[in-house]
Amino acid sequence: MFVNKLQCFLHRAAAIFAVIGTLGVSQAASKLNVVTSTQDLAAISREVGGDRITVDSIAKGYQDPHFVEPKPSFLLKLMKADLLEVVGLELEIGWLPPLITQSRNSKVQVGANGYLDLSRYCEILEIPTGQVTRAMGDVHPLGNPHYWLDPENGRRMAKAIAEKFSELRPQDASYFVEHEADFERRLTEAEKRWDAQMGRYHGRKVITYHRSWPNFAKRFNLDVIGYVEPKPGIPPTPSHTLDVINTMKREGVKLILVEPYFDLRTPNSIASAVGGEVLVLLPSVGGVKEVNTYFELFVYDINLLNKAFAKYK
Partner 1 sequence: MPRILFVIGISLLCPIFAPAQQDVSELLNRMKAMEERIKSLEAEVQDLKGQQSALPAAVTAAQPPSTPQQPGVAAPQRPAASVTVQAPTVTLPAAPAGLEAPQTPSGPLPVYGGASAGASKVFNPDISVIGDFLGAAGNGTPRSTPALEMHESEAGFQAIIDPYARADFFITFGEQGVSLEEGYLTFPALPAGLQMKVGKMRSGFGKVNTMHNHVLPWTDRPLVTQNLVGGEDGIDDAGFSFSRILPGPKDLFLEATGQVFRGDSDEIFKSYRRSDLSVVGHLRGYKDLSESTNLDLGVSYARGHSPLGPALLYSLYGVDATIRWKPLRRSIYNSFVSRSEFIWARQDRPTLGVAKPFGFYVSADYQLARRWFFGARFDQSQRNDNTALQDTGGSLILTYWPSEFSQIRGQLRRTSYAEHLTANEFLFQFMFSMGAHGAHPF
Residue 193 CB, shortest distance to partner 1, in Å, is 24
* Three-state secondary structure call for residue 62: coil
Q: Work out the number of other CB atoms within 10 angstroms of the CB of residue 28.
A: 7
Task: Name the residue nearer to partner 1 (CB basis): 274 or 281.
Answer: 281
Q: Of residues 105, 208, 266, 284, which one binds partner 1 by CB under 8 A?
A: 105
Q: How far is the CB of 213 from partner 1 (least distance, A)?
A: 17
Answer for which of 37, 40, 85, 95 binds partner 1 (CB under 8 A) is: 95
241 binds partner 1 (CB under 8 A): no
Is 216 one of the binding residues for partner 1 (CB under 8 A)?
Answer: no
Segment contacting partner 1 (CB under 8 A): 123-131, 181-189, 219-227, 271-279? 123-131
285 sits near partner 1 (criterion: CB under 8 A): no
# chain residues binding partner 1, by CB under 8 A:
74
User: With CB under 8 A as the contact rule, which of the stretches 5-13, 42-50, 220-228, 246-254 interacts with partner 1?
Assistant: 5-13
Q: Which phi and psi angles does 280 have, rounded to 5°? A: -85, 95
Residues 6+ apart with CB under 8 A from 132: 139, 141
Q: Three-class SS of residue 124?
A: coil
Q: Which of 240, 262, 213, 232 is nearest to 134 (CA)?
A: 232
- Of 139-198, binders to partner 1 (CB under 8 A) are 141-143, 156, 159-160, 163
Q: Judged by CB under 8 A, does residue 124 bind partner 1? A: yes
The closest alpha carbon to 154, from 293, 259, 37, belongs to 293
Q: Is residue 104 a contact residue for partner 1 (CB under 8 A)?
A: yes
238 binding partner 1? (CB under 8 A): no
Cα–Cα distance measured from residue 143 to residue 136, given in angstroms and rounded to the nearest whole number: 13
Q: Is 230 in the site for partner 1 (CB under 8 A)?
A: no
Minimal CA–CA distance to 99: which of 86, 271, 210?
86
CA distance 138 to 229: 11
Going by the DSSP 8-state scheme, the letter that residue 231 receives in this structure is B
Q: Which of residues 50-89 bind partner 1 (CB under 8 A)?
A: 60, 62-64, 67-73, 75-76, 79, 88
56 forms beta bridges with 35
Structural contact between residues 111 and 166, judged by C-beta atoms closer than 8 angstroms: no
Using CB under 8 A as the binding rule, whether residue 125 contacts partner 1 is answered as: yes
Q: Residue 94 and residue 150: Cα distance in Å, rounded?
A: 25
Q: Which segment (129-137, 201-209, 237-245, 249-257) binds partner 1 by CB under 8 A?
A: 129-137
Residue 280 found at the interface with partner 1 (CB under 8 A): no
Of 19-48, which residues contact partner 1 (CB under 8 A)? 20-21, 23-24
* 263 lies in the binding site for partner 1 (CB under 8 A): yes
Least separation in angstroms between residue 170's CB and partner 1 is: 13
8 contacts partner 1 (rule: CB under 8 A): no
* 112 binding partner 1? (CB under 8 A): yes
What is the spatial distance between Cα 89 and Cα 64, in angstroms, rounded to a whole number?
15
CB of 24 to partner 1, least distance (A): 5
Helix (H) or strand (E) holding 83: strand 83-86
234 binds partner 1 (CB under 8 A): yes
- DSSP per-residue codes, 236-292: P-HHHHHHHHHHHHHHT--EEEE-TTS-SHHHHHHHHHHT-EEEE--SSTTSSTT--
> Taking the complex as a whole, how short is the minimal distance between the CB of residue 39 and partner 1, in angstroms?
12
